[in-house]
Amino acid sequence: MSFFEYRNGEMHAEGVTLAAIAAQVGTPFYCYSAGALRAGWREFADGIKGMKAPHKVGVCYAMKANSNLAVIRVFAEMGAGADIVSVGEMRRALAAGIPASRIIYSGVGKKASELMEALQAKVGQINVESTAELETLNAVAGQLGVRADITIRVNPDVDAGTHAKITTGRKENKFGIDIDLAREAFALAGRLPNLKVVGVAMHIGSQLTSLEPYRAAIVRVRELIGQLRADGHRIDRFDIGGGLGIVYADEKPPSIAEFMAVVARETAGLGCELTFEPGRRLVGESGVLVSEVILVKPGAAKTFVIVDAAMNDLIRPTLYEAWHDILPVREARQDAATIRCDIVGPICESGDFLAQNRDLPPLAAGDLVMIRSAGAYGAVMASSYNTRPLAPEVMVDGTRFAVIRPRPTIDEMLRAERFPPWMEPVKA
Residue 216 and residue 168 in contact, taking contact as beta carbons nearer than 8 Å: no
Residues 341-370 that bind ligand LLP (CB under 6 A): none
In sequence order, what DSSP letters do the residues of 398-426 get, joined into one string? TTEEEEEEPPPPHHHHHHT----TTSPPP
Chain centre to alpha carbon of residue 324:
16
Q: Which stretch binds ligand LLP (CB under 6 A): 38-46, 94-102, 211-219, 276-284?
A: 276-284
Q: Shortest approach of ligand LLP to residue 152 CB, angstroms?
A: 13
Residues 6+ apart with CB under 8 A from 395: 31, 32, 33, 34, 70, 71, 401, 402, 404
In sequence order, what DSSP letters do the residues of 286-330 get, joined into one string? GEEEEEEEEEEEE-SS-EEEEES--TTT--HHHHH-----EEESB
**205 backbone φψ class: left, alpha, beta (φ>0; ψ -120 to 50):** left
Of 399, 395, 405, 401, the C-alpha closest to 38 is 395
User: Among residues 165 and 400, whose Cβ is nearest to ligand LLP?
Assistant: 165
If one asks whether residue 388 binds ligand LLP (CB under 6 A), the answer comes out as no
User: Among residues 207 and 267, whose Cβ is nearest to ligand LLP?
Assistant: 207
Q: Given candidates 18, 57, 65, 311, which one binds ligand LLP under the rule CB under 6 A?
A: 65
Distance between CA atoms of residues 372 and 366, nearest Å? 19
If one asks whether residue 375 binds ligand LLP (CB under 6 A), the answer comes out as no
Site mask for ligand LLP (CB under 6 A), range 161-190, x = bound: -----x------------------------
Q: Which stretch binds ligand LLP (CB under 6 A): 134-142, 236-244, 323-331, 404-412?
A: 236-244
Q: Given candidates 29, 41, 377, 401, which one binds ligand LLP under the rule CB under 6 A?
A: 377
Q: What CA–CA distances, in Å, run from 54 to 44, 81, 215, 413? A: 16, 20, 19, 53
**Which residues are catalytic, by number?**
348
Distance between CA atoms of residues 94 and 156, nearest Å? 32
Distance between CA atoms of residues 182 and 155, nearest Å? 9
If one asks whether residue 203 binds ligand LLP (CB under 6 A), the answer comes out as yes
Q: Given candidates 279, 317, 328, 392, which one binds ligand LLP under the rule CB under 6 A?
A: 279
Q: Shortest approach of ligand LLP to residue 251 CB, angstroms?
A: 13
If one asks whether residue 277 binds ligand LLP (CB under 6 A), the answer comes out as yes
User: Among residues 11 and 82, whose Cβ is nearest to ligand LLP?
Assistant: 82
Total residues at the site for ligand LLP (CB under 6 A)? 21
Residue 51 and residue 14 in contact, taking contact as beta carbons nearer than 8 Å: no
If one asks whether residue 278 binds ligand LLP (CB under 6 A), the answer comes out as yes
Q: What CA–CA distances, in Å, run from 365 to 296, 412, 424? A: 7, 29, 44
Site mask for ligand LLP (CB under 6 A), range 72-111, x = bound: -----------x----------------------x-----
Q: Given candidates 86, 125, 151, 206, which one binds ligand LLP under the rule CB under 6 A?
A: 206
Q: Given candidates 199, 213, 241, 375, which one binds ligand LLP under the rule CB under 6 A?
A: 241
List 370's β-bridge partners, or say none: 290, 327
User: Among residues 220 and 324, whose Cβ is nearest to ligand LLP?
Assistant: 324
Q: Shortest approach of ligand LLP to residue 258 CB, angstroms?
A: 16
Residue 209 and residue 252 in contact, taking contact as beta carbons nearer than 8 Å: yes
If one asks whether residue 62 binds ligand LLP (CB under 6 A), the answer comes out as yes
Task: Provide the pairing of β-strand 326-328 with 353-360.
Answer: unpaired
Q: Shortest approach of ligand LLP to residue 17 CB, angstroms?
A: 28
Residues 6+ apart with CB under 8 A from 64: 83, 85, 89, 279, 377, 380
Q: Shortest approach of ligand LLP to residue 242 CB, angstroms?
A: 3
Footprint of ligand LLP on this chain (CB under 6 A)? 62, 64-65, 83, 106, 166, 203, 206-207, 241-244, 277-281, 316, 320, 377
